[in-house]
Amino acid sequence: MSEEIEKENAQENEIKKEQENKNVESTDSTDKQADKKEKKEKKVKKKSKIEVAEEKVQELGAKLEEMNDKYMRLSAEFDNYRKRTLKEKSDLIKSAGERVFVDIFPVMDNFERAMQAMDKAEDKAAVVEGINLIYTNFADFLKRNGVEAIATENADFDTDLHEAITKFLLLLKR
């Protein structure tokens, strides 16, 4: 019986060894399969990284085009604004000059009439009154165009207030 028990034990041991070998082989094959899967996944990840990078490059290219378009439009808009304001400024200067001349014509007409009346006038008081009216008319013209008298009697000379007078005097001297 002991021989039979020993044979049975030996058979059991052999069966256990075979199973262990199978287990080792199956774990080796599963390890190999897992390695293959990992390699495939890495390739897929590499592809996806490349694809992600390409998509990002395309997005950045689109953003660049959009920003470049916005810049060009803004630049053109600013250029148009600059040209428009220059034109408006020159038109304003031109029309302001025209308005001054149109407003001063009545004063000039009154002076011409007064000069003609001086030659024929016998009543000097009427001539003086006419000149005073022309003076008042001219003073009103100056006020309408923003020129006002400055009180300067017994006052110190102030270059900020008297600048127009100094320039005017300089122009008269030339």
Per residue in 6-26, pLDDT (tens digit) is 777 777 778 777 777 666 555
If you ran DSSP here, which 8-state letter would residue 122 be given? S
- Number of domains forming the structure of the chain: 2
For residues 41 and 72, membership in a common domain is answered with yes
- Based on the domain organization, do 18 and 95 belong to the same domain? yes
Residue 110 included in any domain: no
Q: What are phi and psi of 85, to 5 degrees?
A: -65, -35
6 and 63 inside one domain: yes
Q: Do 94 and 126 lie in a common domain?
A: no
SS (H, E, C) 43-111: HHHHHHHHHHHHHHHHHHHHHHHHHHHHHHHHHHHHHHHHHHHHHHHHHHHHHHHHHHHHHHHHHHHHH
Q: Which domain holds residue 144?
A: 121-174
- Check whether residue 50 and residue 95 sit in a common domain: yes
Q: Is residue 6 part of a domain?
A: yes
Rounded to whole angstroms, the Cα distance separating 83 from 80 reads 5
Q: Which of 95, 88, 96 is nearest to 146 (CA)?
A: 96
Q: Are residues 45 and 126 in the same domain?
A: no
**Alpha-carbon gap, residue 146 to 103, rounded angstroms:** 13
User: How confident is the prediction along the chain (174 residues), in pLDDT tens digits per residue?
Assistant: 567 777 777 777 787 777 776 665 555 566 667 777 776 666 666 667 888 888 899 999 999 999 999 999 999 999 999 999 999 998 888 887 787 888 888 888 888 888 888 888 788 888 888 889 989 998 888 888 887 777 777 877 777 766 655 554 444 454
Residue 161 resides in a domain: yes
Q: Is residue 12 part of a domain?
A: yes
Write the single-letter amino acid at 14: E
4 and 79 co-located in one domain: yes
H/E element, 124: helix 124-144
Judge if pTM exceeds 0.85: no
Contact 118, 134 (CB under 8 A): no
Query: Is 11 in the same domain as 53?
Result: yes
Q: Of 69, 99, 129, which residue sits at a domain end?
A: 99
Report yes or no on 111 lying in a domain. no
88 and 165 in a single domain? The answer is no
Do 62 and 95 reside in the same domain of the chain? Answer: yes
